[in-house]
Amino acid sequence: MGNRQLILDRALKEISEGMYVNLGIGMPTLIADRIPQDSHVMLQSENGLLGIGAYPHEKEVDPDLINAGKETVTTVPGASYFDSAESFAMIRGGHIDLAVLGGMEVSEEGDLANWMIPGKMIKGMGGAMDLVQGAKRTVVIMDHVNKHGESKVRRRCSLPLTGKGVVDCLITDLAVFHLDHGQLKLTELQPGSTLDEVLSKTEADIRIDERLLSNQ
Task: Look at residue 171 in the predicted model and tell me its pLDDT.
Answer: 98
Mean pLDDT of the chain: 94
Coil vs helix vs strand at 88: helix
Task: Look at residue 101 in the predicted model and tell me its pLDDT.
Answer: 97
Task: Check 14, 17, 46, 71 and give the catalytic one.
Answer: 46
Residues 124-179: pLDDT tens digits? Answer: 677 899 999 999 999 999 999 999 999 999 999 999 999 999 999 999 999 999 99
Q: Does the annotation mark 46 as catalytic?
A: yes
The domains of the chain, with CATH numbers, are 3-214 (3.40.1080.10)
Cα(116)–Cα(5) distance, integer angstroms:
25
* Mean per-residue pLDDT, 191-204: 96
Predicted TM-score (pTM) of this structure:
0.95
The Cα-based distances of 103 to 34, 45, 87, 123, 153 in angstroms read: 20, 18, 22, 17, 10
Task: Look at residue 216 in the predicted model and tell me its pLDDT.
Answer: 66
CA 174 from chain centre, in angstroms, equals: 15
